[in-house]
Amino acid sequence: MNEELNVGNILKLYRNRNKLYQKEVASILGISREYYSQLENNKASPSTSLLITICKITNTNLPFLLNEPVLDNDICLSCHELTGEDRELVNKMIDKMKVTP
């Protein structure tokens, strides 16, 4: 099991925000409640296709879900609706995250 996976935290947050039971989210994902519980508690690793479905229903992207460093393009895609000061702030954050050799 990959300790870096953010899947369980994201699923639990999604479920709590939407006031759903594990059984309901499991049904949305097309999996058993038992398997869902394992995912939410980071005791199981989802398949690639299930990861994609989780991204879709939780409105997250795969690098975030997998706790990977976010690339400039990923940030831009996630923040495409930002304007003005918000966009400027994101651009400053991107600049600070860049690593120069």
pLDDT in tens, 10-19: 888 889 988 9
| Mean pLDDT across 65-85 | 56
Residue 2 has pLDDT above 50, yes or no: no
Length of the chain counted residue by residue = 101
Could you tell me the pLDDT band of residue 63, with boundaries at 50, 70 and 90? low
- Per-residue pLDDT, averaged over 22-51, amounts to 92
Token pair 């991204």 is found at 55
Question: CA–CA separation, 2 vs 39, rounded Å?
Answer: 12
Question: Tokens 């994201």 — which residue?
Answer: 10
- Residue 98: pLDDT over 80: no
